[in-house]
């Protein structure tokens, strides 16, 4: 970490800062320029609060040189993490397709969708039992019953299931869910992250609407530091000034995250845009940009979905899209192999 | 709610939409223009999912005419809500000053700060016992012990106390906290909001870093719909492209929220900017723009604060600022009275 | 256009608004709901100022039903626009690759790069002669001499040339440039757009850093309304809170713009990210998402580039990337053909 | 400037970077930490392109220590700049109130408004003759005739006039305009800035919708480096995700800019919000936060304004507001004097 001091810093404050830093076990390299003095901190700075230091009166700016995340950092773990889930895996060259309805609504619905997406080549079934809704007056999901229906659909198709947890108190219900999803609005629910780090199921973390790459990785770090290294990252659109789409899908997140971390990166084009016509081009774009998989909403009857349905594809449209995605993934892998 | 259809909508889909809407208890007024057909929905549309409808293939756009919040809506509750807290109140013309350290660190620290801010005219003591930290390696607060120390400081000064809850499981510890704060990162932790709606203490909700005014009001609605009408809103800066300040304080939020809702609106200039030199001008600006109060970090020794200290004022600087704020508030009230 | 009035509007103001609208040649359809009155405006509303109306005291909100752009609107011009440039074209199924250095620096440099990118399959040569630089102390480009060097490179390779104009006064220098580029910072330099609309060369408009899709289309409309229908749109990254990349490339812009307009859409992954390692994955992603072409910086010696060099690929890296892009484009076209 | 290298940088590339930097007249201080090597650059780095260096393969990050602006920098010019305009001044403790209609529409209108705002205590008359409009079909202003009408209004009231220039070619028409305004969309029209730097009238630069403080100061630097030191900065709202207001007024810009530069800072609450009901609270907030003045739209008949009218106050509302602003400014000055 580098601390840039303001010109002519107060000496008492400088001494106080230096002894505080030394007390944290750090070495200080001072470097004096024409207008500014710079402190280079050597040692483990991951527990240092950058905001704290940068707000000191004598400090002009602070620059972290090492990333504040360790377990998630590719520098210390160069090999891609591959996460086995049922008979499939996430990462390691597999194209993971998590498909299914936004909300589980009935036994018939979830089984029908599960069978359809399985037939089209999906590798996992996703479905929401607990739904985070902006309005207290909106449908909040089937809850525990929804989880049970997902398990029945898994039994009938063999597809592992992915579902969103909203609160640590719901954890017992997720004991037999294959991948536990943390929603964008809970990305910095640190208590929930810690609890998920202390259980054995893989955790899929969605990027918050205004979260930086580093913050997403720090949320992964919370889970990993608590003992669970099976974390999947999911880009699902960020909030920008553009309102034509619900959010702005940030496809750069794919190569950036793949560079910074060894964790698998998947993309959710359905939620990002809120417009089903954009799902196919963005899903293709995400695969070409190198993602490890996609989270795609599929509904057996979009017009009657109770929740978020309209951004869903129906099984026919999904079938057409998924065949293209698989073909594209195959084409790109061949290209890599030919090198 | 107004639904604008695409030109030449598919008739089956249109019928299906219409019968679905009628099934929701709504009346439909159709209006046919040169290029577009428009459905005006009459009735209670607060439970309708605008995203669901707008994503339908035949729909061009959907426009809500009525706000989706009811309890928080000034239209249905024109009088300002005034929330009594100990011997003071929030709203109703009082200038509430919640002052104190970001984190409670020790008995000496919190009592010293409490006495100092009381002497300068603060009306409440704020202090964090549970701290949401981006990094799992940072200090996470004193927890239950911190709450106990706040109560001791209250006993010694008479100042009501405000502290942040991070998880519903912590609620028993907050039974005797005067105002329970929900942090920006938990603004859409809907389970937590529901739990806080079912207990009797006032709730202070901080606006999320990328939350719209409507979303903030919907979070208040969650608390109110669960039975607790004592909600205080807090603007604390939003995330923008500008990185010179930590976040961008949105002072427009004050008059906008005061227009949309009857709930009191306070402002946190300390967290918004992360720079203590900006606290005074922004606090003065917020008071002049009509806020009901401020949340200001004050620390007895900023250079040694364990958490977020550097954006704090020390007691001397706070004293100087608070006298100005009280004088300004008095001057503006006189102006109103003279009208 | 739909005008939603506030409850119980002042009658005089309502009459005044209605007669003003009728004076604009519009018909008014009134629709009265339980809480709100709605005016549906029928006729040509493209010259109406939506901000003007929405700011009236009696108006709650205004919603445009028809897009404010006509010439650029796919609804009135369903066929894709194809723009012939030299012996190649932009749009119509061609993958346009505009490659070259950010700045023209010397005869040797521009000829070497032109030959290299031609050999790798680029279809046009791009190079900056006038450079918009944030700092008055930075290199501002070779100016007129740079344009001359581009023409020499064209002569030697046959590649049409693309270069940026910064001010209407420079137009005579661009008389023989094949495609005239308008930079992101000039996207709303309306005088420049009008001047470019009155000359015959195709115009490539880069999206402003915080411009919406509609604003970009309105800028195209300025050129088209002045008589020049040969407009190419370019997505080059928008400004968001994320600072790891210079800007955030918005790949959704591709399918959205292709839906809203018949104009060709190209993507500049080099400027968007400012990191050369991200150019290849984002270029591939953009092609898979359906863009008509790419603008890629290529430099013969990135380490010595005078301007924006570091985000450039060198000819070898470009060659490898361009072969992949062409193969991917071919693969996707085959897939379309097979349908 | 500090250059942080990636671990184990390629030696040839490092040598090449070092000799390039030395060739720029800089000295290099190397500092070697456990994981990273750091280059501290000593000398004048204002012409160095930070993007260029940060994009090099061996570079992890680059951090500017000195601001890239000199003439506008308070460090090198600690005293506030005071700009005389007619018989008034901008800066130096004066509260400048530039009031008037968005567009000049007729002789009667501009004279009536000028007389009204003069009577209420405004210090300058503002009015648009050339209007930057998003749509080519909207009213574009009266042009040269509008400028003439402003001069007549000045003659009749003694108020200096402020008006916006859109293109360097319009400069002769502005020879007798007291303050020349550069609009937000032209903030980075560098040719225009240079031209304005070479003429003697004060220049008011509006912050671009997505421009950082530093970029605004660099635009001021363009004018100053060309020889004109009379620059006034104007905060007018930035583009964020919040759409309830047209833009988000950034009141933090006032204390931040006053800290970074000696130039006067004014605020335009009318354009920022697009809602006339928000003008008064935000104008008061801006004065309390320390701005040097305000730009306020005033129209003699808001309901019939041809352009941006609805966000205007009428003369009565302006009169009431302006008296409050003057009283508040006086109150705050007294407070300062009493210290």
The model's pTM is 0.93
Structure confidence at residue B306 (pLDDT):
42
C135 to D68: CB separation less than 8 angstroms, yes or no: yes
| Cα angle A222, A223, A225; round to 5 | 65
Closest-CA distance of chain D to residue B247, Å: 10
- HSE, side-chain direction, 13 A CA sphere, residue A33: 27
Q: Could you tell me what percentage of chain C is helix, strand and coil, using 3-state DSSP and rounding each to the nearest 5? A: 40, 20, 40
Q: What is the mean pLDDT of residues B206-235?
A: 97
Q: How far apart are CA C316 and CA D268, in angstroms?
A: 51
Interface of A with D in 159-218 (CB under 8 A): 210
Secondary structure class of B29 (helix, strand, coil): strand
Tell me how far apart the terminal alpha carbons of chain C are, to the nearest angstrom: 39
Whether D243 has its CB under 8 Å from any CB of chain A: the answer is yes
Structure confidence at residue A38 (pLDDT):
83
Q: What is the mean pLDDT of residues D75-103?
A: 96
Closest-CA distance of chain B to residue C158, Å: 42
Of D210, D212, D281, nearest to B244 by CB-CB distance is: D212
Of A273, A289, A332, nearest to C282 by CB-CB distance is: A289
State pLDDT tens for residues B37-90.
888 888 888 778 777 787 777 888 888 878 889 999 999 999 999 999 999 999
Q: How far apart are CA B264 and CA A113, in angstroms?
A: 47
Please say whether the beta carbons of A283 and A296 come within 8 A. yes
Residues 6+ apart with CB under 8 A from A215: A187, A188, A208, B134
Closest-CA distance of chain B to residue D287, Å: 7
Most C CBs within 10 A among B2, B67, B238, B248, hence the mutation to make, goes to B2
Distances (CA, A) of C47 to A216, C39, C282, D127, D303: 45, 17, 38, 21, 17
List chains touching D (3+ CB pairs under 8 A).
A, B, C
Q: How far apart are CA A253 and CA A9, in angstroms?
A: 40
In chain D, which residue ranges form alpha helices assigned H by DSSP? Answer: 11-23, 50-54, 107-119, 144-157, 190-197, 213-225, 253-260, 269-273, 279-288, 315-338
Indicate the pLDDT class of residue D101, thresholds 50, 70 and 90.
very high
Interface of D with C in 77-116 (CB under 8 A): none
Pairing label, strands C179-182, C161-165:
parallel
Percent with pLDDT over 90 in chain D: 68
Most C CBs within 10 A among B29, B57, B65, hence the mutation to make, goes to B65
Indicate the pLDDT class of residue B151, thresholds 50, 70 and 90.
very high
Of B13, B190, B306, nearest to A166 by CB-CB distance is: B190
Residue C52: enclosing H or E segment and its boundaries? helix C50-54
Q: What is residue D177's DSSP assignment?
A: -
Residue C258: enclosing H or E segment and its boundaries? helix C253-260
Instruction: Give chain C's residues under pLDDT 50.
Output: 302-303, 305-310
State pLDDT tens for residues C258-306.
999 999 999 999 988 888 889 999 999 999 999 999 999 998 764 454 4
List chains touching C (3+ CB pairs under 8 A).
A, B, D
Structure confidence at residue B309 (pLDDT):
41
| Joined tokens for residue D275 | 């809602």
Q: What is the mean pLDDT of residues A32-42?
A: 77
Structure confidence at residue A8 (pLDDT):
84
Taking residue A1's Cβ as centre, other Cβ atoms within 10 Å add up to: 21
Q: Is the pLDDT of residue B303 over 60?
A: no
Whether D328 has its CB under 8 Å from any CB of chain A: the answer is no
Percent with pLDDT over 70 in chain D: 95
Whether B330 has its CB under 8 Å from any CB of chain D: the answer is no
Taking residue D215's Cβ as centre, other Cβ atoms within 10 Å add up to: 18
Residue B126: enclosing H or E segment and its boundaries? strand B124-126
Please say whether the beta carbons of D322 and D315 come within 8 A. no
Percent with pLDDT over 90 in chain A: 68
Q: Inter-axis angle of helices D107-119 and D144-157, to 10 degrees? A: 40
State pLDDT tens for residues A90-101.
999 999 999 999
Whether A6 has its CB under 8 Å from any CB of chain B: the answer is no
Whether A285 has its CB under 8 Å from any CB of chain C: the answer is yes
Q: Which of B242, B332, B309 is nearest to B100 (CA)?
A: B309
Structure confidence at residue B55 (pLDDT):
72
Structure confidence at residue A20 (pLDDT):
84
Q: Is the pLDDT of residue B305 over 80?
A: no
Structure confidence at residue D304 (pLDDT):
52
Q: Where are the domains of chain C?
A: 2-63, 74-338
Q: Of B217-221, B227-231, D51-55, D86-90, where does mean pLDDT reach its minimum? A: D51-55
In chain A, which residue ranges form alpha helices assigned H by DSSP? Answer: 11-23, 50-54, 107-119, 144-157, 190-197, 213-225, 253-260, 269-273, 279-288, 315-338
Of C33, C65, C239, nearest to B36 by CB-CB distance is: C65
- HSE, side-chain direction, 13 A CA sphere, residue A35: 15
Of B132, B188, B275, nearest to A185 by CB-CB distance is: B188
Please provide the DSSP assignment of A40-57 as one string.
Answer: EEES--TTS-HHHHHTST
Q: Which of A180, A192, A66, A78 is nearest to A124 (CA)?
A: A180
Please say whether the beta carbons of D222 and D73 come within 8 A. no
Averaged confidence pLDDT in chain D? 91
Most A CBs within 10 A among D27, D38, D64, D76, hence the mutation to make, goes to D38
Most A CBs within 10 A among B55, B143, B279, hence the mutation to make, goes to B55
Q: How far apart are CA A164 and CA A179, in angstroms?
A: 9
Residues of A in contact with B71 (CB under 8 A): none
Q: Which residue of B has its CA nearest to A185?
A: B188
Q: Is the pLDDT of residue A164 over 60?
A: yes
Residue D42: enclosing H or E segment and its boundaries? strand D37-42
Count Cβ neighbours within 10 Å for each residue of B157-179 and write b for 16 or more, e otherwise.
Answer: bebbbbbbbbbbebbebbeebbb
Closest-CA distance of chain C to residue A254, Å: 9
Structure confidence at residue B308 (pLDDT):
44
Q: Which residue has the higher pLDDT, A168 or A53?
A: A168
Q: How far apart are CA C117 and CA A113, in angstroms?
A: 48
Q: What is the mean pLDDT of residues D65-77?
A: 91
- B74-338 has the same fold as B2-63: no
Closest-CA distance of chain B to residue C284, Å: 27
Q: What is the count of residue pairs from A and C with beta carbons less than 8 Å apart?
A: 114
Q: How far apart are CA C117 and CA C315, in angstroms?
A: 7
Q: What is the mean pLDDT of residues D19-31?
A: 84
A273 to C252: CB separation less than 8 angstroms, yes or no: yes
Q: Is the pLDDT of residue A322 over 80?
A: yes
Interface of C with D in 149-168 (CB under 8 A): 166-168
Q: Of A272-286, B270-284, C302-316, D138-152, where does mean pLDDT reach its minimum? A: C302-316
Structure confidence at residue C161 (pLDDT):
98
Q: Which residue has the higher pLDDT, B307 or C29?
A: C29
Taking residue C172's Cβ as centre, other Cβ atoms within 10 Å add up to: 7
D277 to B259: CB separation less than 8 angstroms, yes or no: yes
Q: Inter-axis angle of helices D279-288 and B253-260, to 10 degrees? A: 140
Structure confidence at residue B312 (pLDDT):
64
Residues making up chain A, counted from first to last: 339
Please provide the DSSP assignment of C111-159 as one string.
Answer: HHHHHHHHHTT-SEEE-BSS---SSTTS----THHHHHHHHHHHHHH--
Q: Is the pLDDT of residue D120 over 90?
A: yes
Structure confidence at residue C312 (pLDDT):
64
Q: How far apart are CA A286 and CA B121, in angstroms?
A: 56
Closest-CA distance of chain D to residue B272, Å: 10
Structure confidence at residue A34 (pLDDT):
66
Q: How far apart are CA D63 and CA D54, in angstroms?
A: 9
Of B210, B289, B324, nearest to D285 by CB-CB distance is: B289
Structure confidence at residue B304 (pLDDT):
53
Count Cβ neighbours within 10 Å for each residue of C179-214 and write b for 16 or more, e otherwise.
Answer: bbbbbbbbbbbbbbbbbbbeeebbbbbbbbbbbbbb
Of A29, A34, A60, nearest to D42 by CB-CB distance is: A34
Tell me which fold the domain C2-63 belongs to.
Answer: Alpha-Beta Plaits (3.30.70)
State pLDDT tens for residues D244-260.
999 999 999 999 999 99
D245 to B251: CB separation less than 8 angstroms, yes or no: no
Residue B286: enclosing H or E segment and its boundaries? helix B276-288
Q: Which among C74-78, D15-19, D101-105, D212-216 has the top mean pLDDT?
A: D212-216
Q: What is the mean pLDDT of residues B194-198?
A: 98
Closest-CA distance of chain C to residue A317, Å: 14
Residue pointed to by tokens 């729909």: B59
Q: Which residue of B has its CA nearest to A238?
A: B210
Residue pointed to by tokens 């920006």: B184
Q: Which of A2, A17, A20, A6 is nearest to A59 (CA)?
A: A6
Q: How far apart are CA D45 and CA A308, in angstroms?
A: 52
Indicate the pLDDT class of residue B24, thresholds 50, 70 and 90.
confident
Structure confidence at residue C123 (pLDDT):
98
ipTM for the predicted complex comes to 0.92
State pLDDT tens for residues A185-239.
999 999 999 999 999 999 999 999 999 999 999 999 999 999 999 999 999 999 9
Please say whether the beta carbons of C286 and C313 come within 8 A. no
Q: Which of C315, C317, C321 is nearest to C109 (CA)?
A: C315
Closest-CA distance of chain D to residue C159, Å: 27
Residues making up chain C, counted from first to last: 339
Does CATH number 3.20.20.70 belong to domain D74-338? yes
Please say whether the beta carbons of C114 and C124 come within 8 A. no
Of C7, C35, C240, nearest to B241 by CB-CB distance is: C240
Query: Residue D15, class by beta-carbon neighbours within 10 Å (0-12 exposed, 13-18 middle, 19+ buried)?
Result: exposed
């Amino acid at each position: 970490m580098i601390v840039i001091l303001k010109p002519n810093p107060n000496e008492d404050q400088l001494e106080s800062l230096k002894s505080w830093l030394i007390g944290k076990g750090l070495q200080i390299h001072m470097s004096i320029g024409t207008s500014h003095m710079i402190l280079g901190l050597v040692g483990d700075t991951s527990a240092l609060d950058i905001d704290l230091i940068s707000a000191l009166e004598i400090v002009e700016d602070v620059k972290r040189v090492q990333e504040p995340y360790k377990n998630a950092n590719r520098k210390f773990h160069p090999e891609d993490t591959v996460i086995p889930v049922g008979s499939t895996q996430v990462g390691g060259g597999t194209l993971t397709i998590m498909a299914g309805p936004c909300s589980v609504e009935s036994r018939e619905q979830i089984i029908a969708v599960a069978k359809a997406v399985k037939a089209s080549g999906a590798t996992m079934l996703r479905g929401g039992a607990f739904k985070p809704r902006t309005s207290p007056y909106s449908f909040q999901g089937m809850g525990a019953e929804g989880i049970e229906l997902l398990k029945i659909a898994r039994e009938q198709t063999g597809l592992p299931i992915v579902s969103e947890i909203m609160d640590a108190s719901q954890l017992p219900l997720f004991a037999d869910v294959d991948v536990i999803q943390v929603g964008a609005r809970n990305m910095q629910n640190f208590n929930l992250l810690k609890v998920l780090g202390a259980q054995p199921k893989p955790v899929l973390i969605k990027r918050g609407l205004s979260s930086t790459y580093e913050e997403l990785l720090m949320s992964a770090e919370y889970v990993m530091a608590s003992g669970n290294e099976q974390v999947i990252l999911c880009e699902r659109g960020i909030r920008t000034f553009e309102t034509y789409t619900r959010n702005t899908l940030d496809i750069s997140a794919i190569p950036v995250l793949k560079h910074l971390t060894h964790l698998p990166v998947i993309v959710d084009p359905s939620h990002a845009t809120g417009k089903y016509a954009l799902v196919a081009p963005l899903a293709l774009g995400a695969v070409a940009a190198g993602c490890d998989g996609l989270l795609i909403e599929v509904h057996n009857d979009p017009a009657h979905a109770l929740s978020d349905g309209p951004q869903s594809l129906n099984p026919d449209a999904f079938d057409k899209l998924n065949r293209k995605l698989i073909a594209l993934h195959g084409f790109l892998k061949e290209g890599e192999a030919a090198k």
